[in-house]
Amino acid sequence: MSAAQIGAVAGVAIVTVILAVLLRPYSPVYALLASLAGTVVLLAWMLPYAAQTLQWLENVSPYLRQEEFLCLVRAAGIALIAQTAQDLCKDAGMTAMGAKVELAGRCMILLSALPMLRQVVDVWSRLLR
């Protein structure tokens, strides 16, 4: 990603924030919709880079067991979705709901990582015997 692309991403984010701040006193709903629209635009803009990352993960996957690879991808997806939802909740002024979304995301990541944790505990127990 070049400096110009990073500048463009920052520009879209700044315009979105300014628009949301200007709209908030008149219509909080429109401010939230502006924030959501900016989020969608930035996420759509980043899809090609996500595809590159997924391609890299696919290249690395032969060196990992299938369960480990899926756990890694699942945890990353949960983290991204939970963070985006939390940020939107905070933008809407619902900080408490955002905190609950964050907690739910963390719990889901831990639950999805349990199979790997079991394997680690099994290896440790075999080594300690």
**Are the C-beta atoms of 71 and 116 separated by less than 8 Å?**
yes
- Cα distance between residue 14 and residue 86, in whole Å: 19
Q: What band does 1 get if pLDDT is binned at 50, 70 and 90? A: low
- In order of 35, 66, 76, 110, 116, the CA distances from 71 in angstroms are 31, 9, 9, 10, 8
Angle between helices 66-91 and 95-128 (to 10 degrees): 160
| Residue type (1 letter), 89 | C
Q: Which residue has the tokens 């945890």?
A: 75
Average pLDDT, the chain: 86
Q: How far apart are CA 90 and CA 83, in angstroms?
A: 11
What's the Cα-to-Cα distance from 11 to each of 39, 84, 102, rounded to whole Å? 13, 19, 27
Predicted confidence (pLDDT) per residue in 18-61, tens digit: 998 899 899 888 988 988 898 889 888 888 887 888 788 778 77
pLDDT category at 109 given cuts 50, 70, 90 is very high
pTM listed for this prediction = 0.65
Cα separation of 108 and 126, whole Å? Answer: 28
